[in-house]
Amino acid sequence: MDVPDRIAMEKETAPEKTLGGLVDFGADVLQMVSFRLSGEDYAVDVMAVQEINRLSDMTRVPKAPYFVDGVINLRGKILPVINLRKLLGFPPLTAVTEDMRMIVVSAEGSLAGLTVDEVDQVLRIPKSRVEEQKDLGIGKSLGDFIQGVAHMEERLVTLLDIGKLLSVRIA
């Protein structure tokens, strides 16, 4: 089963309550869609993900913030496309790769596309493995978008706060 199908299945059985901005899937487990940026692992709440698409042509917008690559028309809705590499301070890619995707996310009535290097999988993350952002001691600009970091086997997965990511595009 591919990632978009897993997302749809997970959403059908998801509870409505939230805990600290992340959906609480019972007991002590979070459901997150993981992806890669510049070789690092990141994840967003599965309930914020509307769909995952291949990158498509977009329209550039004059005087848009540096991290907005343009806008797309997605079934009649105009969405900004946020380049997470630019927003989080990673070096730009020289070319679009086959693995690159746009994750369409929503939060608090806002909808946007996020460009990522590669979508990985839907993770079930025990809350006991998540260290909250306030305990990380990282810089304010990046820290504003981070909800926490999950310790998963032999890797760290940075959990991003979609609400904060989408609110920055207005500024």
The answer, yes or no, to whether residue 69 has pLDDT greater than 80, is: yes
* Mean pLDDT confidence for 120-126: 92
Band (152; pLDDT cuts 50, 70, 90): confident
Range of the domain at 53: 3-168
Closest to 161 measured CA to CA, from 97, 82, 103, 107: 107
Amino acid at 25: F
Q: What is the mean pLDDT of residues 7-33?
A: 60
Contacts of 75 (CB under 8 A, 6+ apart): none
* CATH number for 116: 2.40.50.180
Mean pLDDT of the chain: 83
pLDDT per position as a tens digit, 27-55: 689 999 999 999 999 999 999 999 999 99
pTM of full prediction above 0.85: no
The pLDDT of residue 10 is 58
Q: Which amino acid is at 46?
A: V
pLDDT band at 93 (very low <50, low <70, confident <90, very high): confident
Number of domains in the chain: 1
Q: What local confidence, expressed as pLDDT, does residue 131 receive? A: 87
